[in-house]
Amino acid sequence: MSGAEAEVTERRPAERDELHKREYDLLDTILQDMADAVVAEECYVHVQPRRVFVRVHPDRLREFIRYMQREHDMWQVSTLSGRDLGDDLQANYHFFLNDKKIAITIKVNVPRDKPEYPSITDLVPGVDFVENEIREMFGIVPVGHPNPRRCELPENWPGEEYPLRKDWADPRGLMKRSKTTGPRPKEEL
Amino acid sequence: MQAALDMIVELLVQGFWVLVFPGIFFVTSLALLWEWIDRKVYARMQNRVGPLHTGWHGILQPLMDFLKLLSKEDLTPKKADRRSFAAVPVVLLVLSFVLCMFLPIVDMNPAVPGVQGILSFEGDLVLILFISTLIALVIILAGYFSSNPFGQTGAARTGMLLVSFEIPLILALVTPAFLTGSLCVSTIMYRLTQMSPAYVWLLVLPFVIYLIASQAELERIPFDVSHAETEIVHGWQVEFSGKKLALIHMAEDILLVFSAGIATTLFLGGPYLLEFIPLSIFSVEFAAIAATTWVGWVYYPLVFMFKSALVVVILSNMRTLFARWRIDQIVRYGWKVMVPLALLSVMLVQVALVYAFPLLGVM
Amino acid sequence: MTSTSNRTVVIPPRVSIPIGPQHPALKEPAMFKLTVEGELIVDAEVNIGYNHRGVEKLAESNTHIQNLYLLARICGICSATHNGNYAQAVESAAEVEIPERARYIRTLIWELDRIHSHILWLGVAFHEVGFDTAFMYTWRDREVAMDMLESISGNRVHHDMNTVGGVRRDVPDELVPKLLRGFDKLKERMRYYRDVVLHEKTFWDRVAGVGILETDVAKKMGAVGPTARGSNVPVDVRFNDPTQAYVPMMDTGDFEMILNDRCDVAGRTIVRVEETIQAIEMCSWLVKNMPDGPIRERVRPRIQPNEVLARHEAPRGELIHYLVTNGTDKPERIKVRAPTHANWVSMAHTLKGNYLADAPIILAAIDPCYSCTDRVVVVDADEQKMELVPLDVLRVRANKWYKENPRRDE
Amino acid sequence: MGFLRRLVDKAKIKSPWVFHFNSGGCNGCDIEIIAALMPRLDLERFGVKLVGSPRHADIMLCTGPVTEQIKPRLQRIYEQMAEPKYVVAIGSCACSGGVFRGAYNVLGGVDQAIPVTAYVPGCPPKPSAIMHGAYQLLQVLAEIMGVSPKELAPEFEEPPAPTVDTTETGAEVAQT
């Protein structure tokens, strides 16, 4: 599936014991309804209470979001966090099902050379600027975003540099913490 | 030769009156004193200490602010119209000095009965109202000259505010003129002191209206929407700095002195205090001594300062108690409440003068 | 006021008022481009990129312990929440159970932080509206809460109370009576401020009916915290997804979520004041039945590879830490989603259609904490026929205007 | 004229108008600056007044490690201040970049962007520390101006340091 930690994966599935019953019911309904859109072996219920992780194919993402909004009344969007898995880039949408009290994370993997996937801003307006941020920080481009623009990086930031990728090194080099440069001389300011 | 000498002496004496005692120097020091009182009351009402370390309990703080501003660098935005940008503070200061000349602090010309101000003449009440409108106009122009979007919005707001509070101010100031039938501030004040107390009850409502309207004229909370600190930074004053800012702050303080002065003169009986006591020794002999000898020169200003200090404390309390209103609420409140109230008080006075008082036999 | 109903009348000049990046109303640098028609705000545009410090990149080169201090410095007012939530994330990644007393102390610090943050916000709201006397009074009474925080954690703002596996300092028993007395004093003052908020006419005029955010719009735009609860949206992590000492507290059942259906700034104000009183009751409940026992658990610095989503109810809303560990003592990826970040879209929506004078109070209504957020959102003007100037042109025009007003006239 | 010159110099010390600018900090220092202006520890006793526009101010209180995006604005605001101007860097972020030193978007300290006169370290410095910093700055300026610092604030006594059991004393101190 992805990068270095393939064998020691960070997935910690929980047993199907009584504690995680509600989460497993939700996961089963999802797997049963949307079997083809979801990568089955990567969806699991986490040991931590009230957490479900699901991985979806990029092209079926919008359909999956509509299904969740229709079936499970998913309206509370939390955020979108990007990840660099070595040869793949991953976008995780975090939602919270308010009535079932379960936090569901929808993962979308995109290849590094062609990092695009359909944007869902029109379905969920809340993610409008988080998608901009992921485009700027990771280079993952949500196609069809209504208002792509420069987010928090300064104007003079070079276009194709993506600071949060693992392979990006700070051109100025991490300022050595201990070395005290002292106040810059007056004329240089 | 003798006439020339007399003329020179006369000039010097007049110069002393205008420049030093009841004139510019006295009014400026009074302005600094009132700003100190205002800041101290505002701070103490907020459980704070207020300025403490400059002079006795911070009394020199306004003076220090003024001197410091004078010594700072003076900037003019390139796009602003330089000459008029520099003219605005000077015009404001001159206008507020002229306004203060009409206040009867010391008896300037004994010929006319009662204490007369330096420039008191028949009809100076109308001139006062005209100059206060002129000041509002100059403030609006100052906003546009500074060519700063904050300045322009601040000037537009000041315009709306001052226009909507001009009418209540005028009606409140004109009511004492109805009672006494004269248009000279000093003679109004003198005749009011002679009248029976029944007339004083008619002045209570105009006094309240005047206080609220002058709070709006001086643009203080709850009406300081034009240079509201949090919305548009310092409104029309945002581009002024250094000497210009010092002059503007001094002009504002002098306007405070003038508003408090007019309130004491027309509504609180001007520089007379002991004369109101019914005992003959006070109302007759003391009034005569005060009117003629040097005692008046000390007693009248002291009473004047005491009464206007009271008014300043009232205005300062208003500042602490209220939040700032939005411009549309102020304008709506101005037209829907203040103007009808002012008209009502004028009608009340007319009805009382024409019908009620002759019936009750009040003279 | 020119009537904007019939278009034939002369349209007032469209002035673009830049509030910020330096503005007394905003305690932090944020650039709000309000396009104003006369006094009505037609279009609001938020640019908060001034605060971006690259915290996430920095966090990846720090160990977990160092990250605790770094993440606490993201936001000065809600520093205990970032600190506590990251510690909670690392502990659930390591799947370690921390002692009961440590849970209670961590939750006590969270609630105390909520009290001081809400009172601070109440003071700033009074200041935005020009009610400076109440601003002074609220901040004076906030000193009682600050002294309590200082006596427990040693520092007024950044407490750094938590560590991986528990809490760093204990609450000595002789401090408990003092805390209880402080809570009573705070509760009595907060009741006084609730009356001031409800009955002070000049304040109520400025807050009622301003900044309307309907319930469904709040849901769609992803509003969180008191901003959402002020529009009747049941969003509160303490009740929906309780962790630490909230679990026993919710079982007692005498606390319930505070909602208000006014949907305007007044609603949010009432929710925050009620929440402060509830937080004070929670604190006294925590201090009264706090179990004894150890306050720390030994945890090996190398955390097993794990993927955790830690959620916590910060004073401003739902805070999310998405942590991925990779077996070393440094996090592989840490994503911090601060609550104010979620409120930007809904806040920009509420700005439209209000007066310019209301802008500060609406901005303050979501209790913005720009240091938590460093992103930007643009809201287009509604379907009026006026030509909308795109963002870059506005920025160029703003820079040109700045250049034309240099400090010195040549 | 010597007396007038000395009086004006003394005026420059006695009424320092202050103006606050946050260049990307965590606003912990900002709330402590405002807490220093509050009833418990009132900075206005030195005549300090918080003004909103750089044109009116003498001292700029700058907090936060300067981020890349805000540096041009910070320098432009600094230029807009009228001439005898001083900058006080409040908080360890402003002094040296603090916790955020080394991040790719942070300059690391206000002195990398504008000349700084005084530093108040601490994360965040307590209000009494900010007050002490302000008082020290005024004394230093007094020496530069040749005004004897003694009568700067003759009866100035150390602000009441909050003792450990402060719940009720804190309130009492605030009440007085």
pLDDT tens digits along C323-362: 888 888 888 888 888 777 777 777 777 877 777 667 767 7
pLDDT tens readout for residues A97-137: 888 888 888 888 888 888 888 888 888 887 877 788 888 88
What is the band of B312 on the pLDDT scale with cuts at 50, 70, 90?
very high
pLDDT of residue C369: 56
pLDDT of residue C296: 87
Q: What does pTM read for this prediction?
A: 0.81
Cα–Cα distance measured from residue C309 to residue C293, given in angstroms and rounded to the nearest whole number: 28
| Candidates A1, A23, A48, partner chain C, best to mutate (most C CBs within 10 A) | A48
Interface of C with D in 289-348 (CB under 8 A): none
Size of interface B-D (CB pairs under 8 A): 97
**pLDDT-above-70 percentage for chain C:** 75
pLDDT of residue C69: 86
C65 contacts C299 by C-beta, under 8 angstroms: no
Which residue in C has a C-alpha nearest to residue A103's C-alpha?
A: C309
pLDDT tens readout for residues B171-213: 998 888 888 888 888 888 888 888 777 778 888 899 999 999 9
**Domain ranges for chain D:** 2-152
Query: What are the structural domains of chain C?
Result: 64-346 (1.10.645.10)
Chain D residues within 8 A of C23 when measuring between CB atoms: 52
Q: Which helix (H) or strand (E) holds C46?
A: strand C40-47
Phi, psi of C16 (to 5 degrees): -105, 110
Crossing angle, helix B149-180 and helix B124-145, to 10 degrees? 170
Q: What is the ipTM of this complex?
A: 0.78
Locate all alpha helices (DSSP H) within A12-111, ordered by sequence: 21-33, 61-72
- The dotted CATH code for D2-152 is 3.40.50.12280
pLDDT tens readout for residues B218-269: 887 777 766 654 445 566 777 777 888 888 889 989 999 999 999 988 888 8
Cα–Cα distance measured from residue A130 to residue C335, given in angstroms and rounded to the nearest whole number: 12
Closest residue by Cα to residue A46 from C401, D144, B206, C311:
C311
| Average pLDDT of the segment spanning B34-62 | 86
C371 contacts C51 by C-beta, under 8 angstroms: yes
pLDDT of residue B33: 92
Gap from B229 CA to chain D (nearest CA, Å) = 6
Gap from C197 CA to chain A (nearest CA, Å) = 30
Average pLDDT along chain B: 83
Using CB atoms, list chains with 3+ pairs below 8 Å to chain A. Answer: C, D
Q: Check residues C71 and A151 and name the one with the higher pLDDT.
A: C71
- Cβ–Cβ contact B111 with C under 8 A: no
Residue D127 is which amino acid? P
Cα–Cα distance measured from residue A45 to residue A52, given in angstroms and rounded to the nearest whole number: 5
pLDDT tens readout for residues C236-295: 888 888 888 888 888 887 888 888 888 888 888 999 999 999 999 999 999 998 888 888
Mode of pairing for the β-strands spanning A88-97 and C317-325: unpaired
Length of chain C measured in residues: 410
pLDDT of residue C273: 92
pLDDT of residue C183: 93
Structural tokens at position B263: 């309130």
Chain D residues within 8 A of C51 when measuring between CB atoms: 24, 67, 70
Cα–Cα distance measured from residue C208 to residue B150, given in angstroms and rounded to the nearest whole number: 26
Closest residue by Cα to residue A77 from A16, A141, A130, A11:
A130
B6-10, C204-208, D134-138, D153-157, range with greatest mean pLDDT: B6-10
- DSSP label of A176: P
R_g over Cα of chain B:
21
pLDDT of residue C366: 67
Cα–Cα distance measured from residue C205 to residue C130, given in angstroms and rounded to the nearest whole number: 12
Report the SS3 class of residue C320.
Answer: strand
Query: What are the structural domains of chain A?
Result: 8-119 (3.30.460.80)
Chain B residues within 8 A of C404 when measuring between CB atoms: 77-79
Cα–Cα distance measured from residue D124 to residue D133, given in angstroms and rounded to the nearest whole number: 13
pLDDT exceeds 90 at position C188 = yes
Quote the distance between the C-alpha of residue B277 and its chain's center: 27
Q: Which residues contact B59 (CB under 8 A, 6 or more apart)?
A: B33, B36
Alpha-carbon dihedral A24, A30, A33, A39, rounded to 10 degrees: -110
D27 contacts C77 by C-beta, under 8 angstroms: yes
